[in-house]
Amino acid sequence: MTERSALTWARDFLCPAGLAKALILGLAVRLAIAPWTSYPYDVYPFYSASVDMLAGMGMYGHAVFSYPPGFGFVMYPFMLLLSLFVDPSLFGSLQPEILEMGAISDLVNPFITAPAFNLALKLPIIIGDVLTASILFLMVREWKGDGAARSAYILWFLNPLAIWIGSVMGQFDMLAVLCTLVAVHLFIHQRYALAGLALGAGVLLKIYPAYLGIFFLLYLLVAAGVAWRDRLSSAARLVAGALVSALPAVPLLLTTPEMIDFIFRRASNDSLGGINPWFPASFIGSLTSPSGVSPGAENFFQTPMFLMLVGVALVIIASVAMARSDRPPRESIIAGSLLVLVIALMFRSVTNPQHLLWALPFMLLFSFIDKRMRTPMFMLTASGLLFSLTLRTFAVFLYPLAAYTPLVSVEQLNSIVTAYFSAGPFMPAVLLALSSLLGVVAMVKAIIMITSLPSGWFRKRLWGARE
């Protein structure tokens, strides 16, 4: 490929024909809101990891950053570049006026990051957002044509939840989503080593792509009409690619043995709730606990570990069923990927709005198999937005605007948060419960559409009866 053709391909990939306006609009919205918004409670670990890395202590220096190392690798160049223009001591500031909010809500942090830091943090996420829209366009175009591909691009890049999670909250799940889409694209084209490499890169960002690894591996091993030698060879290439992607984390693991503890630390909590079937636990906790903390699990069968094991078991069953289905291979892989990720969402102890991004692009892809999937896709988008806004009100996301501009004051935002909780926990709890219920209904509808539950799937899989 010549240099000119490579540049043409890159331009067409990043800005497909007929989509320049959608790209410009999506970027303008993201870049306009990114500096002036954040979720103070969630952004502090990223701030801590950034200044620790710049100080030579590594991303786990103060044991605040409790994610796999992938996002640390991604954000470091952006923070290093920012440090050339802004002293790291100015990356954020303590706002004493917000301290009083701790008595009202335990999810409001008084340390507010600066606009420059917020932009540097979110830039790689925004880039990942563009690449995600582009890979969706590529996947749909080769399958359904240019018109459908443009629809997929617009529906994703202008999706309000995708914009909110990346450019307001600053959560980096989008980068893991990109890895899973690339992995599925490569898997469809039987590039198993590269698919494993993409999945492994995703696991370095978030653990959840491992569920897709289970699906891919079982799909290869139990596929009908394939010789065992070819099955094992394909599975070996998938695993080898995944192992190669883990190499960047090995030095960090050897120099920081506590890394695994940091990464899995939050899995040890016994909270239940969020946008999953266990949301009544958090609803009850909000009504009975002043801080809104859900009640702890009383035995092993209520713990995150038990829920995860049930989820893994269901993923294995679903993977075998989808590998043996009579769908065309592309449709089977897309449907299986979506089914596995919805199961992963439903069998988490706590499912937050950013986690919904894991399944949303696969819902979009599946909607080109069955257009009815658009309904649960929109429902899940609405659920994530409503949950995010009602958890602690929209005001908490505007603290950078208040701290660094005269447009609004910290006291004004404090008054909004105070007013929201002044009437007691009932109304916030009800709104959260409704948003969670909406998300659960959307996920159940998605499962029914994928599997043709209850009648078709049970008759065919359990009794072998014809439709």
> Mind listing the pLDDT tens digit for each residue in 351-373?
999 999 999 999 999 999 999 99
Under 8 Å between Cβ of 413 and 396: yes
Chain Cα centroid distance, residue 353: 8
Cα-based distances in Å from 269 to 76, 111, 272, 305, 355 = 29, 24, 9, 10, 18
Residue 88 has pLDDT above 50, yes or no: yes
pLDDT at 127: 97
Residue 216 has pLDDT above 50, yes or no: yes
Residue 248 CA to residue 238 CA, distance in Å, equals 18
Residue 102 has pLDDT above 90, yes or no: no
Neighbouring-strand partners of residue 93: 112
Under 8 Å between Cβ of 22 and 137: no
Residue 343 CA to residue 46 CA, distance in Å, equals 29
pLDDT at 298: 54
Residue 181 CA to residue 187 CA, distance in Å, equals 10
In degrees to the nearest 10, what's the CA dihedral of 365, 369, 372, 375?
Answer: 0
Rounded to two decimals, what is the model's pTM? 0.91
Q: Which of 203, 128, 116, 115 is nearest to 171 (CA)?
A: 128
376-386: average pLDDT: 97
Residue 76 CA to residue 57 CA, distance in Å, equals 13
Residue 401 CA to residue 35 CA, distance in Å, equals 8
Residue 146 has pLDDT above 60, yes or no: yes
Chain Cα centroid distance, residue 162: 9
pLDDT at 260: 62
pLDDT at 297: 47
Region of poorest pLDDT, from 73-77, 122-126, 331-335, 347-351 = 347-351
pLDDT at 269: 53
278-301: average pLDDT: 59
Under 8 Å between Cβ of 376 and 359: no
Phi, psi torsion values for 172, nearest 5 degrees = -100, 15
pLDDT at 189: 96
Cα-based distances in Å from 171 to 49, 271, 381 = 14, 21, 16
Q: Can you give the length of the chain in residues?
A: 467
pLDDT at 456: 54
Residue 109 CA to residue 39 CA, distance in Å, equals 9
| pLDDT-derived band at 463, boundaries 50, 70, 90 | very low
- Tell me the residue type at 302: Q
Residue 320 has pLDDT above 60, yes or no: yes
321-328: average pLDDT: 89
pLDDT at 246: 84
Q: Which residue has the tokens 């959840």?
A: 208
Residue 367 CA to residue 352 CA, distance in Å, equals 24
pLDDT at 427: 85
Reduce the secondary structure of the chain to three states and give it as a string.
Answer: CCHHHHHHHHHHHHCCCCCHHHHHHHHHHHHHHCCCCCCHHHHHHHHHHHHHHHCCCCCCCCCCCCCCCHHHHHHHHHHHHHHCCCCHHHCEEECHHHHHHHHCCCCCCCEEECHHHHHHHHHHHHHHHHHHHHHHHHHHHHHHCHHHHHHHHHHHHCCHHHHHHHHHHCCCHHHHHHHHHHHHHHHHCCCHHHHHHHHHHHHHHCCCHHHHHHHHHHHHHHCCCCCHHHHHHHHHHHHHHHHHHCCCHHHHHHHCCCHHHHHHHHHHCCCCEECCCCHHHHHHHHHHCCCCCCCCCCCHHHCHHHHHHHHHHHHHHHHHHHHCCCCCHHHHHHHHHHHHHHHHHHCCCEECHHHHHHCHHHHHHHCCCCHHHHHHHHHHHHHHHHHHHHHHCHHHHHHHHHHHCCCCCHHHHHHHHHHHHHCCCHHHHHHHHHHHHHHHHHHHHHHHHHHCCCHHHHHHHHHCCCC
- Tell me the residue type at 97: E
| pLDDT-derived band at 17, boundaries 50, 70, 90 | confident
| pLDDT-derived band at 454, boundaries 50, 70, 90 | low
pLDDT at 66: 83
Token pair belonging to 369:
């198999």
pLDDT at 462: 47
**Average pLDDT value for the chain:** 88
Token pair belonging to 308:
């995860």
406-429: average pLDDT: 88
Phi, psi torsion values for 92, nearest 5 degrees = -170, 175
> Mind listing the pLDDT tens digit for each residue in 153-209?
999 999 999 999 999 999 999 999 999 999 999 999 999 999 999 999 999 999 999
Residue 328 CA to residue 144 CA, distance in Å, equals 14
Q: Which of 88, 89, 53, 55 is nearest to 73 (CA)?
A: 53
Residue 459 has pLDDT above 60, yes or no: no
Residue 195 CA to residue 241 CA, distance in Å, equals 7
Under 8 Å between Cβ of 398 and 90: no
17-30: average pLDDT: 95
